[in-house]
Amino acid sequence: MNNKIKFVFFGSSRFSVIILDELENAGYIPACIITTSDKPRGRKLFLTPSPVKVWAKKRNIPVLDPIKLDTKFIESLNKKQWDLFIVASYGKIIPDIIINIPKHKTLNVHPSLLPKYRGASPLQSTMLDDAKQTGISIMRIDNIMDHGPIVAQEKVNINEWPIYEEFEELLARKSGQLLVNIMVDWVSDRIVEKEQDHDEATFSRKISKKNGLINLEDDPYLNFRKIQAFHEWPQAYFMHKHNDRKIRVKITQALFENGKLNIGKVIPENGKEISFEDFKRGYGKNNIF
């Protein structure tokens, strides 16, 4: 067990949990975890903790989930001496007064080769742009989003686009491993950070439900990338006329082969997942696929 670095981890999503797993595997256990507050989820809108909160509770690690990063919260952090804060997919903007609390400041894990794809959706945007030469960055946070100096980077080359969940796991695991490799050197002041080339910065687009709509007559490779990128949320879909009304049909499985999009499985509106062949037989009257 490596308890020499006293650090706080800020995170909320599955991406964060995978990084925590890699830290734990290497013996790095956060002294405290900060996550987002419980949110209503599902059809019945039950209050549900973040995946990170669940992870922390299973290990009896102190966890805080403040609604606001207010004065009271800041005072609670200032009661102890910290070596480092680590942020990975936390979901909130952290003010300067917090990122400067620990002796060795605050590091952020970002799944792109910064300054490319700053912002909230670097993974999906990378897939949509077919940017197969991608990677991960660890940067020191400053007062501008994804703007701070680079501490470490690692390139990752993609041959074929997997579904979003698999791409996220790949980059999260590599991020956690890179974090493990640099933590001791960082707190020992053996790493020289490097300012980003801000003239080369690009920004990832904000994803909304309407982005999932595809036209089956559009470029098949772009449609395939949308299906893969939006596999978890908002899910790619097309509109289909059936019984004198248009229904939404979600695409859950697809391949891109020989220049063609081959849809494997779909979920028709108010229906269950079925093969695309069964869908065409049951819903395809007066329609051409």
Q: Tell me, what's the pLDDT at 283? A: 81
Q: Residue range 172-201: average pLDDT?
A: 97
Percentage of the chain exceeding pLDDT 90: 88
Q: Residue range 142-165: average pLDDT?
A: 97
Q: Tell me, what's the pLDDT at 285? A: 59
- Residue 9 · residue 17 · CB < 8 Å: no
Inter-CA distances, 212 with 84, 128, 156, 248, 263, Å: 39, 12, 26, 11, 15
Q: Residue range 23-32: average pLDDT?
A: 97
**Where do the structural domains in the chain lie, given as residue ranges?**
7-200, 209-283
- Measure the CA–CA gap between 206 and 167, rounded to whole angstroms: 18
* pTM, two decimal places: 0.93
Q: Residue range 159-175: average pLDDT?
A: 98
Q: Tell me, what's the pLDDT at 1? A: 43
Percentage of the chain exceeding pLDDT 70: 97
pLDDT in tens, 216-244: 999 999 999 999 999 999 999 999 988 88
- Contacts of residue 32, defined as CB under 8 A and 6 or more positions apart, other chains included, come to 8, 9, 61, 62, 63, 64
pLDDT-derived band at 40, boundaries 50, 70, 90 = confident
Q: Name the pairing type of β-strands 84-88 and 106-110.
A: parallel
Q: Which fold has domain 7-200?
A: Rossmann fold (3.40.50)
Tell which wins on pLDDT, 287 or 60.
Answer: 60
pLDDT in tens, 111-137: 999 999 999 999 999 999 999 999 999
Q: Tell me, what's the pLDDT at 282? A: 84
Query: Does the pLDDT value for residue 182 go beyond 80?
Result: yes
> Which residues in 228-244 are b (16+ Cβ under 10 Å) and which e?
bbbbeeebbbbebebee
Q: Which fold has domain 209-283?
A: Methionyl-tRNA Fmet Formyltransferase; Chain A, domain 2 (3.10.25)
148-157, 249-258, 280-289: least confident range:
280-289
Q: Residue range 41-69: average pLDDT?
A: 92
- Residue 115 · residue 196 · CB < 8 Å: yes
Q: Tell me, what's the pLDDT at 191? A: 97
- Measure the CA–CA gap between 270 and 63, rounded to whole angstroms: 39
Share the mean pLDDT of the chain.
94
